[in-house]
Amino acid sequence: MPTDNKPELRRSVTPWGSFAWGYSDVGADIFVGLGLVLAAAAGASNVAFLFAGIVYVCIGLAYTELAATYPVAGGGQYFVQRGLGDVFGFMAGWAVLLDFTIDVTLFAWTCVDYSSQLAPVLVASVHPWVHFLVTLGLIVGLCVLNIVGVRESTAFNGFVSALDVVSECCILCFGFLFTFRPELLMHNMQMHWPSPYQLMLGISLAIISFVGLESISQAAQETQRPASVVPRTSVALILTILIFALAYSNLALGMHPWHPIYDAHGHPMQFWEIFPNNPDNQGKAVALLAQQIPYFGALAAFYVPVLGAILLLISSNSGVFGSSRIAYAMSRGNLLPSVFQRVHAKYRTPVISIATFCGVAVVELIFAALPSLDPNANAIYARLFRGESGLDFLADLYAFGAATSYSFVFIALIALRLHDPLSPRKFKIPFNIPVRVNGERAEFPIIAVLGFLGIGSILVFTLFTHPIGRIAGPLWLIFGLVFYLFYRRGRKLPMFHSHKQDWRKQQIEILRSAGELELMDEYLANLKTHDERLAAEAKA
């Protein structure tokens, strides 16, 4: 990494702060994903969450190992660039940038949806301009907050994350105690099992309930002793979110039955009693579920919308943080113009990156809100995208970006295991096959292969079932690749090959900067042994 005297990102993220960054992103996903998955997968919603959850565990383990080994801003983008080269590193980073900018808009949008439970003036279908302007105001406010500094953002995340963990546990405990009926769960699964298309749609939407571990990786360069902290916080987050997702989906199926209603043309359609097929309600599913619980629901009807809105707001905040740090890292790696690595002299935050990608989030907000703001646009969207709502638009792109970037990360993990076996790995994914590469002992990760197959299938499901995702997602990647090629050509850098970098020197500086001096010494010893072996072989 560069060792000049330019301002560097400040290491102010504590162990709880690291967990809070991830939880504020992943923990909020269930507030968005639950209603979407129930509307799509019906009686197999818990199966959709289970499939996505298994893939999520593989993703979480991969990110945990990589972030602990290479604790730098950039996360998946940096891992892919180091393991597969500049072009693939750019594509992975560009896909993650799509995800994080969607993160900003999607969670600001649903923050307003949850608030509308107590303030009807914010209901999108009734007052679309009010909903749009309030969401826009939230995005601008978060942009300013992140420019001021990560310490203020982290304190905000940590406090609300703690409240939400307690709240979600209360909802589940009281829900299973007072309302859950196992026979109703089995009835809904048997009588309302979805078609294969709907199940694939549900699985592709369920993966958005597990997006966010990238946030811990993004904060690694600002985390104290990341090689020790990141594995603990990541494993805790993996278990917490997996339990919550599976518990909420089973609780919802065991609380209320499906029943038929009829649309305006007299056609029968399936209808979930507390999650009607209505975007206004899909966007606030946890609040609707909580208020149905006897005794506890009377209190939950008031505080869950507020707490959910705040958690979604800090998840949107995580999107601002993550996108700016990816752009910062890509700029330092010669994948984006150098302007994105400029750090504010006073606040020591990447101000240009923050402002730019908050601007992208605003553009995405306009596209999502346009059908409700303009009847002509609504007619066009209905013809092109089968009448998808603004929430569906954002969820489509979110699922595409996540599946694409995670696919690259699994391949990068395998490549780094084989080509960089000398870097100390304080945390390592279990179930490995010992191999030898260029005379060095390495371990081939079986779980990475299984995870790649799982996320690859979800990517196929996304492209098959999401009309917006299969159009706008690839267009985003194509636009980014063209921009990348023009930039590299202008800088007289290799366009399809990697710019030569001293990865050894970078790794030493990464570990030194992170305060992982024992791991740095171990890495230096590994390099010395490796060089001595090569010298001995050359003489022989």
The per-residue pLDDT for range 2-18, each reduced to its tens digit, is 444 444 444 445 565 56
Mean pLDDT, residues 145-173: 75
The residues that bridge with 231 in the sheet, in sequence order, are none
Q: Residue 329's closest CA among 103, 69, 8, 60? A: 8
> In this structure, are residues 296 and 70 in contact, taking their beta carbons and an 8 Å threshold?
no
pLDDT tens digits, 248-294: 999 988 887 665 444 444 444 444 444 544 555 666 788 888 888 88
- Model pLDDT, residue 12: 46
pLDDT tens digits, 486-496: 999 998 888 88
pLDDT tens digits, 101-113: 998 998 899 899 8
The residues that bridge with 46 in the sheet, in sequence order, are none
More confident residue, 215 or 98: 98
- Model pLDDT, residue 376: 66
The DSSP letter of residue 124 is: T
- Model pLDDT, residue 257: 67
pLDDT tens digits, 410-461: 999 999 999 999 999 988 998 999 998 888 889 999 999 999 999 999 999 9
Pick the CATH number of 15-501 from 3.30.465.10, 1.20.1740.10, 3.40.50.920, 3.90.1150.60: 1.20.1740.10
How many whole angstroms from its chain centre is CA 322?
9
More confident residue, 540 or 410: 410
Q: Can you read off the two tokens belonging to residue 182?
A: 């196992």
Mean pLDDT, residues 23-41: 79
What predicted TM-score, i.e. pTM, was given to this entire model?
0.83
- Report the C-alpha gap between 64 and 169 in whole angstroms: 25
* Three-class secondary structure of residue 276 per DSSP: coil
pLDDT tens digits, 387-397: 556 677 788 88
- Model pLDDT, residue 398: 85
In the predicted model, what is the mean pLDDT of the chain? 81
- Model pLDDT, residue 485: 93
Residue ranges per domain, the chain? 15-501, 504-540
- Report the C-alpha gap between 464 and 458 in whole angstroms: 10
Provide the 10 A C-beta neighbour count for residue 421.
18
